Amino acid sequence: AGALTVTAGATLLVFALVQGPESGWDAPSVRFGLYLSVPLLLAFLAIEHYSRDPLMPLRLLGNRNLQVAMLLTAIFMSSYGVQYYFLAIYFQSVYGYSVLQTGLAFLPATLLCTLGIRVAERLLARHGARATLVAGLLLGALGLGLLAACLPLGRGFLALLPAIVILSVGQGMTWTAMWVSAASGVDPAEQGVAAGMASMTQQIGGALGLALLVALANAQVRGADAASLLASQARGIEWVTALSALLARFGAALALRLRREEPAAGQPSRG
């Protein structure tokens, strides 16, 4: 029963949040998803509370590292994750890229994100998850800030590359460290459950963040002709990119609440 209610509730909530900006919040399907998801998720919590063998032991929510990691996965998707959506629109609408050109433009980000993952592996071994997360989020915030500053200059894709390099490396570092943080201090037998809880907030946070940022970007769109509409759409995307940078900085501050890892016996602390 618990698996059924949480799956149905989370699916309906994500569906409503994703469809809301496109179909309108008054659309019957969106309202149905929102109204039904809440009681289903509340029912899941009640089932887990009284179950002798819960799918998601609620006591895990008392783990501070897991609390922070769950919030960070939501922030990650609301700041880093949504950028591909907005940049795809920007590249095609403002730069006139085709779908293929847009996909190729994201290739450097993918490769650099992989580099960030490798960097994070080394930092995790030396300094722990907290320092790695803070560094990754601050690096990503810097990249997002530079991206927001460079987009209005209209100098094309090459002018964005420095920002994309910084952003993508920070994204890879953050991605790796936040999952390590989710399992930190959790019994090995329950680490899979902890990762699942963080994954759930990642999905919901991504949908909620995208819905809010799309609404904010669309609020900037106005004009009497095609040129002014395109210019205002570009400004909206530039504005939400700057907002995403602030969100990543907030994530870095939140990551400081993670508990410091104890140094291994005989090894000095490097955190």
Question: pTM, whole model, 2 decimals?
Answer: 0.80
CATH superfamily of 63-255: MFS general substrate transporter like domains (1.20.1250.20)
pLDDT given for residue 268 in this prediction = 37
Write b or e for each residue in 22-60: b if 16 or more Cβ atoms lie within 10 A of its Cβ, otherwise e.
Answer: eeeeeeeebeebbeebeebbebbeebbeeeeebebbeeb
d(CA 5, CA 13): 12
124 touches 176 (CB < 8 A): yes
What DSSP assignment string belongs to 3-15?
HHHHHHHHHHHHH
d(CA 243, CA 245) in angstroms, rounded, equals: 5
Closest C-alpha among 111, 112, 90 to residue 101: 90
Q: Give residue 54's pLDDT.
A: 66
Examine the pLDDT at 39 and tell me if it is beyond 60: yes
Q: What confidence score (pLDDT) does residue 87 get?
A: 92
pLDDT in tens, 184-235: 877 787 788 888 888 888 888 888 888 888 888 887 777 667 777 788 888 8
Confidence of residue 55 (pLDDT cuts 50, 70, 90): low
Q: Which tokens in the block code for residue 65?
A: 């590292």
- Hey, what are 232's tokens? 């205002």
pLDDT value, residue 72 = 93
User: Looking at residue 265, what is its pLDDT?
Assistant: 37
pLDDT at residue 99, rounded to an integer: 92
- Rg, Å, the chain Cα set: 20
Contact call for residues 21 and 215 (beta carbons, < 8 A): yes
Q: Tell me the domain boundaries of the chain.
A: 1-55, 63-255
- In DSSP notation, the chain reads -HHHHHHHHHHHHHHHHHHHHHH-TTSHHHHHHHHHHHHHHHHHHHHHHH-SS-SS-GGGGG-HHHHHHHHHHHHHIIIIITHHHHHHHHHHHTS---HHHHHHHTHHHHHHHHHHHHHHHHHHHHHHHHHHHHHHHHHHHHHHHHHHHHGGG---HHHHHHHHHHHHHHHHHHHHHHHHHHHTTS-GGGHHHHHHHHHHHHHHHHHHHHHHHHHHHHHT---SSHHHHHHHHHHHHHHHHHHHHHHHHHHHHHHTTSPPPPPPTT-----
User: Which pLDDT score is estimated for 120?
Assistant: 94
Q: CA-to-CA distance for 187 and 165, rounded, in angstroms? A: 37
Q: What is the pLDDT of residues 251-262, one digit of tens each?
A: 999 999 887 764
pLDDT given for residue 163 in this prediction: 94
pLDDT at residue 271 above 70? no
| Interatomic CA distance for residues 70 and 80, integer angstroms | 15
Contact yes or no for 184/271 (Cβ under 8 A): no
